[in-house]
Structure 1
Amino acid sequence: MPRISSYGTWTSPVSAGAAAAAGRSAQWLAEVDGALWWAETRPDEGGRVALVRALPDGGTEDVLPTPWNVRNRVHEYGGRPWVAAGPAVVFTHWADQRVYALTGGEVSPLTPEPATPQGVRYGDLRRGLDGEVWAVRERSTGSRRTDIARELVAIRLDGGGERVLVAGHRFFTAPQLSPDGGHAAWLAWDHPAMPWDGTELFVAPVAADGSFGAARVLAGGPAVAVCQLEWESADRLLMLADPDGWWNLHRIGLDGVAVNLAPVQRELGGPMWKLGVSWFAPLGSGRFAVLDSGRLAVLDEHAGSVTPVDTDLTVWSSAGLVPVPGGIAGIAAGARRESAVVRLDPATGEATALSPQPDELPPPEYLPVAEERIFTAADGAEIPAYVFPPSNPDFTAPEGELPPYLVHVHGGPTGHSDGALSLDFAYFTSRGIGVVAVNYGGSTGYGRAFRERLREQWGVVDVRDCVSVAEALVAEGLADPQRLAVRGGSAGGFTSAASITMTRTYAAATVKFPILDFTGWTGAGGETHDFESQYLVGLVGPYPETEQRYRERSPITHVQSLAGPVLFLQGLEDEICPPDQADRFVAGLAGRGVPHAYLRFEGEQHGFRRAETIIAALEAELSFYGQVLGFTPPDVPVLELAR
């Protein structure tokens, strides 16, 4: 019989250590000589990203030993960090951001050491002409975070240096070579656009000496975002673009004539936060594996259809879809399965895992299964969300008690939450704390019009939608109105901070590596990196014309209006949301009598990658909720709160 105990006090086998171990995930999957290779995050190795390959016997092995860290800083979010080119595997190394080649078990540098540490960075590595790798090169040109120049470059595999292929735009994806070697194609865009606003697909002839001829725009524009391109033949490309408001798969010839292969009001692409991501792969005979808002589907151009694959792997990563004999390989997760590399037969849905589940994965009965729901905004708009109710087979709450609930706000804000297993969420739900992950207006997966609900409305629509969901759960008798908290990181940290300062719905907030001062986060303010330095033009308005709006919506303007206690979590090496803003906000709390805590983590960038940080942050968050929402969680260190 389950024991009766108040919500928040339940004991659970879902430890913070188990959540940290789940951070050991795959990315950047590709095929090398018939074998699957991928990069793998290692929280237990200081956040290192290893390069791994699958073995014929079903096991895996590391290709590169420590300290090699296959990761880069292009756009600060990184881009495709490795590629096979002839006899070499070429990769970027985090410590110095240089490009290296692994050949015959030996590693050698291909690019010089920059004059300023990490001052030259490379990403989105692609095979180029024989003896070359093509990449995006990013160079710091001054002391400000926005002093950046980018070019497309060819890097010699024999260590013979690099040459510039294309310049003239603020942002690029790496060029891709046509099958006959006659043309190259790439994407480019400029401030203030983000890549989901509008990009241009360029194509140029490749001369005998390897130089590019005159480039011309084949597709895209200010209001059309191309998010992926692949050559299909010497004179045709495949591209994901949204001229009709939804990312659909198109075929386009060198004459610029494009055909939508299966017109659907579904998102088969996504936001290009990292360079080199992919949402489709050809299966042959006019069929394509596609990601339909993250779910695997098969597009049949002859039938003009997009058909979901019947599998319990409900969330697929855009960091690698690879055609393999008999199906597709990818990185996928489910409601009770952590992300793993799998092979899948689309016809049967049968999947074979190539990378293991975490050793510390708790029993399934302690893992929540999300309920996908649609709530209604104040303006009548739909708000998708995933509800993870408290669940633990060993406990039940006293009759009549309602659970505390955490409103989880995803980052981006051009991003989304999904229903895949999250041990972070399970850490709370298995202790009697509900979680609801809200896809507020501006989230991806629901078409351009839904994304653009947030245009010039950040700090309004997101805050209001999250409040609407929280209050709906209260109205339905599912959540305690006195024990609601809001949590999020990055853009989600902003919405959490805005919510606790500008509404009275929540009793507490956890704010992780946040944006708190819009004026500082502009290009003029200098407190963020180049890629997002003009993001707020679309999200808030042109600056300085709407400067007053920037100030009014900044949580730091409203420090004195906190509705409840707040916990700040911040990496000290974060170049996207540097600690400056959190430092200022917390300094403004001194002596105000509001309970708060501020944990700063050495060696962490944007998002936490080290096991010890993940553990400390989760345990601090649980202790914080216990103290401010009125319960005593067992077996967790008590977080000291200042006032």
Structure 2
Amino acid sequence: RLHFYCCFYFFFVNGRCSRSGMGGRHVVLGAAAVVAAVRWSPAVVSVACSVLRRVTGHGRHAPSGCWSSPVTSALIVKKAVQLGSPSFGPDGLLYWVEGRAEEAGRRVLVRRRENGKVEDVTPPRESGLSVCSRVHEYGGGAYVLTQRAVYFVNAKDQQVYVQQLADDEAPGAAVQLTSGDTTTRYADLQPDPKRRRLLAVCEQHEAHGVKNCIVAIDTEGGRCSVLVEGADFYHAPRISADGAHMCWISWNHPNMPWDDTHLWRGEFDSAGYMPVKARRRVAGGLNESVLQPEWREDGALVFLSDRSGWWNLYVEKDEQVLALCPKAAEFGGPSWIFGLRYYALLPRGHVLTAMTDPAAMGERLLLLNTANGAVAVPSTPRSRALPSASPLTTAHNVATPYNCFRGTLVAGRQQVRTP
């Protein structure tokens, strides 16, 4: 082994040093190493190799963890793509957000057409646009789809922009809707088509502190009107199917949303505002965390609550709150960001949900029949989130990257989008 090592070192160094005009003495040293190896003189080999390392710079020592490595963090994540916020648009197409490391972390809204073609909706990198909210610093809920347009929050200025969408054409140019600077931020966008406006959580950074409220944004001119204020934090403004009611979640310092929150519902007046007298609390309070309220078509309000010690599904109708398929398992999780979906309401009283089962030590999808409590397990991987009213999920495990799955529950077919 010494012989082959020294021969390799000799020819390698000779070749490198010849090109730099320093080959003479390196050839001599290399030859000495080869001769020493042939004569099996370890001492001479050691001296020759030591001299070679000093002259050529090879074999330099550095403190532990301080050496220069060709494997950098930038190299590892260069092609990484993070998938999130999947949803079906009114056009039936699948949309999601991609966080692209090779674009400095820019977040791009992407859609998949019926013919399988995947295209960017957000304008190219040169536009400086990135779909990302910073409300509560963690953001989320940064875009919403309407019949002919997409509204999104831009990362740089935190303002709301609009792009027109056409079935057979490329997405339109992005036009700024709201006017302001980064002291005003928006998140959790929701359409209110009846009144031609958006609902959003608005965070205003003022000289004396930060103020949160729920606002309505006119989609014609971008004018904002405050609908609900007074609490320290707001989350999940949602409009009922008939457009007459709105629900939302609020909480106050020093609590986090998994400590205690309040779920409210209210009725709009003729001008589209939310009078205090038309509001009432549905659930929540001391040591109860409520999250992801969703309206059913019949006007009932479904939500997640941990009042039993587990985040389970509940429904409120006619001022009565009932548990849906109670289980010693988690159907929800901490609301770190806006727009998280842990279940989806489906026709005929079915609910598609992601459940964390302590016995199974992991998450899985369940199809619940709220009428009789029956449970079915679709054949899908570990899931993290579900958009409202669609059989769609992002999933991953420790051995695979994030994937976006689209499935037909009846037929059991799945289409997969991977980074």
Question: Structure 2-normalised TM-score?
Answer: 0.74
Match of 1:186 in 2: 248
**Alignment match, 1:24:** 81
- Residue 250 and residue 274 in structure 1: after superposition, are their counterparts in 2 closer, same or farther (change >3 A)? same
| Matches of 1:235 and 1:322, distance apart in 2 | 16
Matches within 5 A, 1:188-267: 188-213=250-275, 214=277, 215-253=279-317, 255-267=318-330
Runs of 4 or more above 6 Å deviation: none
Q: Deviations over 1:430-483 (max 9, x none)?
A: xxxxxxxxxxxxxxxxxxxxxxxxxxxxxxxxxxxxxxxxxxxxxxxxxxxxxx
Residue correspondences, number: 332
Give the structure 1 partner of residue 109 of structure 2: 51
Post-superposition shift, 1:351? 2.7
Correspondences of 1:406-417 after superposition (within 5 Å) = none
Number of the residue aligned with 2:189: 125
Deviation at 1:234?
4.9
Report if aligned partners of 2:188, 2:237 keep a CA contact under 8 Å in 1: no
Which stretch shifts more, 339-348 or 191-200?
A: 339-348
Tell me if the contact between 1:287 and 1:300 (Cα under 8 Å) persists in the aligned partners: yes
Matched, 1:62 2:120: yes
Higher RCO structure (Cα 8 Å, ≥6 apart) = 1
Paired residues for 1:184-583 under 5 Å: 184-213=246-275, 214=277, 215-253=279-317, 255-293=318-356, 294-311=363-380, 313-314=381-382, 316-318=383-385, 320-321=386-387, 323-324=389-390, 328-334=391-397, 336-346=399-409, 350-353=413-416, 355-357=417-419
Render the CA deviation track for 1:580-614: whole Å, top value 9, x for unaligned.
xxxxxxxxxxxxxxxxxxxxxxxxxxxxxxxxxxx
Q: Is the 8 A contact 2:135 2:186 kept in 1?
A: yes
| d(CA) in 1 for partners of 2:102, 2:161 | 24
Once the two structures are superposed, residues 96-123 of structure 1 have per-residue CA deviations (whole angstroms, 9 ceiling, x without a partner) of: 1111111251322121122xxx111000
Distance apart, 1:350 and its partner CA = 4.4
Query: Does the 8 Å contact 1:297/1:309 carry over to 2?
Result: yes
Structure 1: give runs of 5+ residues left out of the alignment.
1-13, 358-643
Q: Is the 8 A contact 1:310 1:348 kept in 2?
A: no
CA contact (8 A) 2:160 2:186 kept: yes
Q: Which whole-Å CA distance do the structure 2 matches of 1:295 and 1:93 have between them?
A: 33
Aligned partner of 2:180 among 100, 113, 135: 113
Equivalent residues of 1:329, 1:344 under 8 A apart: yes
In structure 2, runs of 5+ residues without a counterpart are 1-70, 166-171, 357-362
More strand by share: 2
Distance in structure 2 (CA, Å) of the matches to 1:107 and 1:252: 40
CA distance in 2, matches of 1:60, 1:269: 31
Which residue is equivalent to 1:509? none
Is it true that 1:167 corresponds to 2:229 in the alignment? yes
Aligned equivalent of 1:89, options 139, 145, 150: 150
Q: Is the 8 A contact 1:51 1:70 kept in 2?
A: yes
Aligned counterpart, 2:215? 153
* 8 Å Cα contact 2:79-2:102 kept in structure 1: no
How far apart are 1:243 and its partner, in Å? 1.2
Deviation at 1:160, TM superposition (A): 4.3
Give the percent of matched residue pairs that are identical in Structure 1 and Structure 2. 33
What is the RMSD of the two structures over their aligned residues, measured on CA atoms?
2.3
The answer to whether the 8 Å contact 2:402/2:418 transfers is: no
